[in-house]
Amino acid sequence: MRYQDKIKIQRRRRRKFFWLLVAASVCALLYQEQVAVLYVISTLAICALMIVVVFWNLEIRDAEMQAASIRESAAEISTNSRELSRRERRVG
């Protein structure tokens, strides 16, 4: 087994353990009727998720803006080259 495969397996195990720990914590808080703590934790989790989505959307928007800029530049270059070829025909 390759070293990278071992690392992937370890990461999966850690992830599973983490989610198992989270689920156990939530169950323990529910059992102890600590709804206020769960409310705060869920609010913070939603805020973190929204921040991730915002930055993800910013990356997509930047990529779209860059693509649009490249298309505009390409159109401008092709327009300029057509005008130059027309001028050369008139002069020549």
Distance CA 37, CA 45 (A): 12
Residue 46 has pLDDT above 90, yes or no: yes
Establish if 51 belongs to a structural domain.
no
Residue 44's pLDDT is 94
Residue 20's pLDDT is 95
Number of compact structural domains in the chain: 1
Residue 16's pLDDT is 94
- The two tokens of residue 5 are 């495969």
Half-sphere exposure (Cβ direction) of 86: Cα atoms closer than 13 Å: 6
Distance CA 71, CA 74 (A): 5
Establish if 86 belongs to a structural domain.
no
Range of the domain at 23: 1-33
Residue 81's pLDDT is 66
Establish if 49 belongs to a structural domain.
no
Establish if 9 belongs to a structural domain.
yes
